[in-house]
C-alpha cells in the first residue's frame, strides 16, 4: 500500500483525456487507500514528492501527510520522501514539528536526495537559492536533524534560530538511498535507512514503490548493498 497505487487510475484517465485534470481524484483515492491500510493493520503509509508531472499529484507530500493523518486513526503517515535539496532544513523541521504535534507518534519524515522532477522544475524550485551558500546534502541533512532536536549548538551561525513548536518526541527519521555512503550517513545521525529492493542487483531502478520494499537499519543496509554489488560483479 503506497502512493503509486493511488495514482494508477489517475494516470490512465489523464492519458486518455489530456484536457482534464484528475489530481483531486488521485488525492481522494490516496486518502481512501490510507484509510483501508489503517483498517487492515498496516504500519506505515508514505507519499512521494514529484514535481511538474502530469501524471502524479504528489508535489507537496507534507500537506498530503497532514490530511492523511487527519483521516486515519492508528497508522503511521510519512513522506517517501521530502526532496531536501529544494528546501531550508529549518522550514522542513518546523513543518514536521507541527505534524508531530497534530498526531504524536504517527509521523515519519523520509528524506531523499534526488530532485523529484525534471530540470525545469528543479530550476523553478531553486530559483532564489544562493548557490554560493547552499549547503551540500550531507550538511543540509545534519542541519535538519539538529533543528528537529532543538536549536543548533553554538558557534553555528544559525544557532539563535529557535525551531517551533516544541515536540515531546521526534518524528521518525528515515533517509532514502541506495549506497553504502547514504546508509553510513543515516547511521551517523542515528536515523533509519530505506533502500530499493535489495533482492535485485545494485544499482536498482529507484522509485517510491521500490523504496518501500526494504526498510533496514542503516548498518545492515550498507552491508546488504555492498554484498549485492559484489555478487553482481562476480556474475559478470
Are 150 and 206 in the same domain? no
User: DSSP letters of 129-194?
Assistant: --TTTPPPHHHHHHHHHHHHHSSPPTTSTTTT----S--SSPPEEEEE-SSHHHHHHHHHTT-EEE
Are 110 and 219 in the same domain? no
Are 220 and 155 in the same domain? no
Are 124 and 216 in the same domain? no
User: Nearest 10 degrees: CA dihedral of 76, 77, 81, 86?
Assistant: -130
- Give the model's confidence band at 110: pLDDT under 50 very low, under 70 low, under 90 confident, else very high: very high
Are 135 and 211 in the same domain? no
Whole-model pTM above 0.85? no
Specify the pLDDT at position 122: 92
- Say which residues have a Cβ less than 8 Å from residue 219's Cβ, sequence separation at least 6: 183, 187
Computed over every residue of the chain, the mean pLDDT equals 82
Largest CA distance in the chain: 57
Cell numbers placing 107:
509521523
Domain containing 131 — which CATH number? 3.20.20.30
* Stretch among 167-171, 172-176, 180-184, 210-214 having the lowest mean pLDDT: 210-214
C-alpha 188/C-alpha 193 separation (Å) is 11
Q: 185, 53 in Cβ contact below 8 A?
A: no
Are 122 and 223 in the same domain? no
Pairwise pLDDT comparison (211 vs 81), residue with the higher score: 81
Give the number of other CB atoms < 10 A from CB of residue 82.
Answer: 25
pLDDT digits (tens, 9 = 90+) for 12-36: 355 556 556 678 889 999 999 999 9
pLDDT digits (tens, 9 = 90+) for 113-154: 999 888 999 999 999 888 888 899 999 999 999 999 999 999
Are 165 and 205 in the same domain? no
Q: How much helix, strand and coil, in percent to the nearest 5, is found in the chain?
A: 45, 10, 40
Specify the pLDDT at position 62: 96
Among 144, 176, 208, the domain boundary falls at: 176
Tell me: pLDDT of 165 over 60. yes
Among 131, 149, 176, the domain boundary falls at: 176
Specify the pLDDT at position 216: 43
Are 90 and 207 in the same domain? no
Among 148, 176, 204, the domain boundary falls at: 176
Specify the pLDDT at position 142: 97
Total domains, the chain: 2
Are 167 and 212 in the same domain? no
Specify the pLDDT at position 230: 67
Specify the pLDDT at position 195: 83
For a pLDDT cut of 70, what percent of the chain falls above it? 74
Show the domain range for 226. 195-236
User: For the chain, first and last CA: distance in Å?
Assistant: 35
Specify the pLDDT at position 225: 58
Specify the pLDDT at position 56: 86
> CA triplet 38, 56, 175: central angle to 5 degrees?
65
Pairwise pLDDT comparison (217 vs 215), residue with the higher score: 217
Specify the pLDDT at position 12: 39
Q: What SS3 class is residue 44?
A: strand
Are 26 and 91 in the same domain? yes
Amino acid at each position: 500500500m503506497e502512493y503509486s497505487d493511488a495514482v494508477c487510475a489517475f494516470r490512465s484517465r489523464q492519458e486518455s483525456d489530456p484536457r482534464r485534470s484528475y489530481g483531486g481524484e488521485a488525492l481522494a483515492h490516496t486518502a481512501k487507500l490510507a484509510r483501508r491500510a489503517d483498517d487492515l493493520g498496516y504500519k506505515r503509509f508514505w507519499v512521494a514528492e514529484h514535481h511538474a508531472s502530469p501524471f502524479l499529484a504528489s508535489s507537496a507530500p507534507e500537506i498530503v501527510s497532514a490530511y492523511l493523518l487527519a483521516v486515519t486513526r492508528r497508522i503511521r503517515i510519512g513522506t517517501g520522501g521530502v526532496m531536501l535539496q529544494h528546501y531550508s532544513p529549518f522550514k522542513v523541521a518546523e513543518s514536521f514539528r507541527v505534524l508531530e504535534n497534530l498526531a504524536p507518534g504517527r509521523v515519519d519524515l523520509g528524506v531523499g536526495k534526488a530532485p523529484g522532477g525534471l530540470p525545469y522544475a528543479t530550476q523553478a524550485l531553486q530559483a532564489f537559492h544562493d548557490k554560493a551558500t547552499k549547503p551540500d546534502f550531507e550538511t543540509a541533512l545534519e542541519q535538519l536533524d539538529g533543528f528537529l532536536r532543538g536549536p543548533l549548538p553554538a558557534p553555528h551561525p544559525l544557532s539563535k534560530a529557535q525551531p517551533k513548536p516544541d515536540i515531546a518526541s521526534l518524528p521518525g527519521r528515515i533517509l532514502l538511498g541506495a549506497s553504502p555512503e547514504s546508509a553510513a550517513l543515516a547511521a551517523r545521525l542515528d536515523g533509519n535507512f530505506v533502500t530499493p529492493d535489495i533482492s535485485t542487483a545494485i544499482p536498482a531502478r529507484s522509485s517510491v514503490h521500490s523504496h518501500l520494499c526494504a526498510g533496514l537499519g542503516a548498518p545492515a543496509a550498507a552491508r546488504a548493498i555492498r554484498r549485492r554489488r559484489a555478487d553482481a560483479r562476480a556474475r559478470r
